A and B are shown apart, each in its own frame.
Chain A
Amino acid sequence: MVFYAKSEGKETIREHTDRLLYNLNLLKNSYSNKFMLMDGKMWKLLEIAVQYHDVGKANTVFQNKIRQAIRESMLETDIETDVPHNYLSVGCIPLKQLDLTKEEERLLIHAVGYHHEREQLPEKEKVRHVLENDIKKQLPQLSEHMRLPMTEKFSYRFVDRLLKRYTYHDGEEFWKYVMIKGLLHRLDHAASAHIDVESDVEKSIYINVNEYMKKQGFHKNDLQQFAEQHHDKHVIAIAQTGMGKTEAALLWIQHDKAFFTLPLRVSINAIYDRIKEKMGYDAVGLLHSTSVHYLVDKEENWEELKQQSEHYAKKLLLTTIDQILKFPFYYKGFEKELAAMANAKVVIDEIQAYEPRIAAMLIKSLEMIHRVGGKFMIMTATLPTLYLEELKQRNVINDDQIAIEEFIDTSVNRHRIRLRSEGIEEAIGEVLELGETSQVLVIVNTVRQAMSLYDKFLDCDTQVPIYLLHSQFTQEDRQLLEKHIKQFNEDNERGIWITTQLVEASIDIDFDYLFTEMSTLDSLFQRFGRCYRKRELEHDNCNIHIFTENISGIPRVYNEHLVNESIRLLEPYDHQIVDERAKVEMVKQLYDRKQLKGTSFLKEFEDALYMFDNLDPYGMDKRKAQQKLRDIQNIQIITRQMYDQIEHLFERYKEEKEWKKRLKLRMEIEKKTVSVQRYIAEKYVSERLPKPFDHIYIAEVEYDFNRERLKGKGILLDKPSSNQH
């Protein structure tokens, strides 16, 4: 008798189970000393869970589904009831023979019973019907096929036990459950994808980063030495940009498995290149919402790499937080992500860049990572005091397990600021003049403001090159512009770039002058970092001009109270040098809990934490958690004109059978879309594309960009497309 587990490759249940066992051994041999919660008994439980997780697939309804798919003769049966196999599997486990405690039984039952999370809860009568009338007949053959004892007599108490799910109120048991179930998910998913659950175990970034630094002639600075020394602890390092934070993190990771998170996809791609190409480390993976696009262009074996990344099998994974750290939502299946943290180190870079609600999620994630035995490192230019306090309060930080340090270099003065109580458009003449001899960066708070400023500059009669960069260009045009701004900077051309905070963190540039609208200090200081990035200020003029009147983006983008407070803190430095120490101190004051009292910033942060602490587990699925996370909801739009131009791509997509080619087409199409905030876009959107492009909307507006001259404003939301009348 053959029992199939999968139609693909006609894999039997035993074959599939053996793949899991292979992965189980791999995991155990590679990292068993890293799993704080996994002792001998726990590994044994996990092994039992693996052995039995798919035996429920022996039911005839399931077997016939597969047989139909692989065109084999159907089995005779009068059973029609379709019960998810994960529930049936539990029924077959010979619990009585296993000599487990009640707690261990529960861990096993829940791990197997929910190794697929379903909308459909187990219904006792249906389960009974299928077990008694179908599985019972198969038990002898199934037992032979699996080379495992099956239960002698069915008991249905497990259904009751499944209905009461684990929650954090179960204390220590909850964390054990997370491990068993999460690891089972990992083993199962890796086995189904036919990849190793952990790859490149022996490859250590530590060696590569050391070699790389030696070759470059870099000496380990204080920050890097500190990180390296405390590789066995949680680390919080507050250090300004340009101090080699990435290297510090890699030195901290040492020989361990690690997840390296950053807020922006572009910067992740940049670090990927650096690690892979400059450091020659190939055990690195890339995971974010558009990482496939990036990998396809770069890597020959991108398919394998994509899978290894998706299943967290890579030794070092570069990723956005929404891919791996959303488990505080307790969505169905969250155990997989959390368990993956248990044998790993997690780096959170640029924590100051996240809005308060997301920061709250991160704090909760760190607390949970700590509970399952993972280690974390927070790197940041400025750490809101509030976050640190919260971690302390949650007992995540106690002294012998964490190292906290500030690294501030005050030896080089790079910025002299001028506060100007006027709107930024007052300075157009001045900027144009400077643009003739230097590189001038203008940063404003909103896309709308950037466009309007761009128009005003163009109205002036000038020869100075003027460029515009913001988020509302199509993906391909934006890529082009981002590339060009770097090139422009490197080639020392003269001219003016008008941008939004888009350039704050993601793009490595160093301009001569910065004209910026006021924002909150943390964001403002990031902007400083794009001007005299590493060099000493060699003149007595102010190289940074901050405009404090008619600021755009308040309160939508920046909290009004925080901006006003920021101005107040900055005032004493008018016409003065602002060094790194001063920046850190100012941000500390700005985000002091007492100072924040009554602000929406603090309220959002606290409300979010309260929510995470009191969330009803398993209430949502993974997708919804992800959406909630990006709840500054952006939607993708495509202009009518563009849609008409590429309509043939959609046709080809429909006809194409080969999925690789489909993916290519899909990327072709996505490149032409613009990501816009939902509330802005809604007014202009006319229809939604049919599946599978139903996340893209057609907008009846014009788009303005000339790819040769790199001129244009991007999507013109105020200008309805002309063919619409």
Chain B
Amino acid sequence: MKALRLKLFQETACYKKPFASKVAETYPLPPYSTVKGMIHALLNADQFIPMRLSVQGTYEEKLLDYQRYYFFKKKELSSFPLVLDGLARMEFSYDKNEITTMPMYTHLLHNVHLLIHIEAEQHILKQIIHAIEYSMTHYSLGRWEDLVRIDEYKLVDVQELKEEKTLQWNAYIPSNLLDRETKSIPYQLNWKYEIVNGIRQWEKINVGYVQKEIEAPEGVWIDEDGELVFYHL
């Protein structure tokens, strides 16, 4: 099977955990929904495109950023501040009944390298390549301000792994592939949602975050250049 392999770089990134409300904690790698979101954005998609993903990567360090956060108290606001970036001197007043602020820590990953495999129908992969080559805006992954540099995009052959092989990257591996005794951090990652009664209902994927240098479990895949692939579905 063919897959599109992306090698990405981000100087900073925060893949925020959904329920981390006091400190913006980040996942160690972008969850599937985030990667899926980036691809859908590239394609200007207005509906879900079926695909399988494999997410691996490394980062150099974790940093803390201290930021002012704005919280909206109401659904409907009389004045909605659209952009304030870079306007330190600008007098900005807001209704304290509608908006409140709080300083908060944000966890940031520094110097992130990502290796992402996307499996989808052939024409979709072609469209993604086209979008990469002709995009009019910058790319970002996670937060809008966390730019992405695309170091490589390549169509690769993916086969089932026969030999024993050592992980070269940290990776999300679906839990059903992992031994009980493989050291891993369990996560439930968002994948895609349906809207039920106006609320997003997420489909969750159980994965283990494993660190490189362990042996790959049986039943995973490998691409033509020897990179391991762990599809989430």
Contacts and interface: CB of A to CB of B under 8 A. Distances in A.
A160 B179 CA distance: 10
B175 to A, nearest CB: 15
Given A124-B213, A155-B215, A156-B215, A164 B183 contact: yes
Interface in A572-586: none
Interface string A147-174: 0000000011101110110000000000
Contacts of A156: 164, 166, 215
A478 interface: no
Nearest to B184: A164
Contacts of B166: 124, 156
Q: Which of B164, B182, B214 has the most CB of A within 10 A?
A: B214
A612 to B, nearest CB: 24
A164 B182 CA distance: 7
B61 interface: no
Interface string A304-323: 00000000000000000000
A157 B183 contact: no
A102 interface: yes
A106 interface: yes
Contact of B179 (A124, A155, A159, A161): A161
A161 B181 contact: yes
Contacts of A161: 179, 181-182
A102 B179 contact: yes
Contacts, number: 24
Interface in B138-188: 164, 166, 179, 181-183
A636 B147 CA distance: 66
B213 A157 contact: no
B164 A160 contact: no
A163 B164 contact: no
Contacts of B182: 160-161, 164
A197 B81 CA distance: 80
A163 B215 CA distance: 12
A124 B214 CA distance: 8
Nearest to B182: A160
A106 B181 contact: yes
Contacts of B179: 102, 161
A166 B182 CA distance: 12
Nearest to A155: B164
Contacts of A163: 183
Contacts of A160: 181-183, 214-215
Interface string A117-158: 000000010000000000000000000000000000001110
A124 B216 CA distance: 13
Contacts of B214: 160
B121 to A, nearest CB: 35
Contacts of B181: 106, 160-161, 164
A124 B164 CA distance: 13
A46 B164 CA distance: 27
A160 B167 CA distance: 11
Interface in A82-120: 102, 106
Q: Most chain-B CB neighbours within 10 Å: which of A124, A156, A160, A161?
A: A160
A164 B181 CA distance: 6
Most A C-beta atoms less than 10 A away, residue of B166, B181, B213, B215: B181
A389 B134 CA distance: 75
Interface string B211-233: 00111000000000000000000
A703 B160 CA distance: 80
B171 to A, nearest CB: 13
Contact of B215 (A102, A106, A157, A164): A157
Interface in B116-141: none
A164 B179 CA distance: 11
A161 B164 CA distance: 14
B185 to A, nearest CB: 12
A159 B164 CA distance: 13
Nearest to A161: B181
B68 to A, nearest CB: 39
Contacts of A106: 181
A568 to B, nearest CB: 51
Contacts of A155: 164, 215
A39 to B, nearest CB: 22
B202 to A, nearest CB: 30
16 contacts: A102-B179, A106-B181, A124-B213, A155-B164, A156-B215, A157-B164, A157-B215, A159-B215, A160-B181, A160-B215, A161-B179, A161-B181, A163-B183, A164-B181, A164-B182, A164-B183
Interface of B: 164, 166, 179, 181-183, 213-215
Interface of A: 102, 106, 124, 155-157, 159-161, 163-164
Complex A-B, nearest 9 residue pairs according to Cβ-Cβ distance, in ascending order: A157-B215, A160-B214, A164-B181, A164-B183, A155-B164, A161-B181, A160-B215, A156-B215, A124-B213
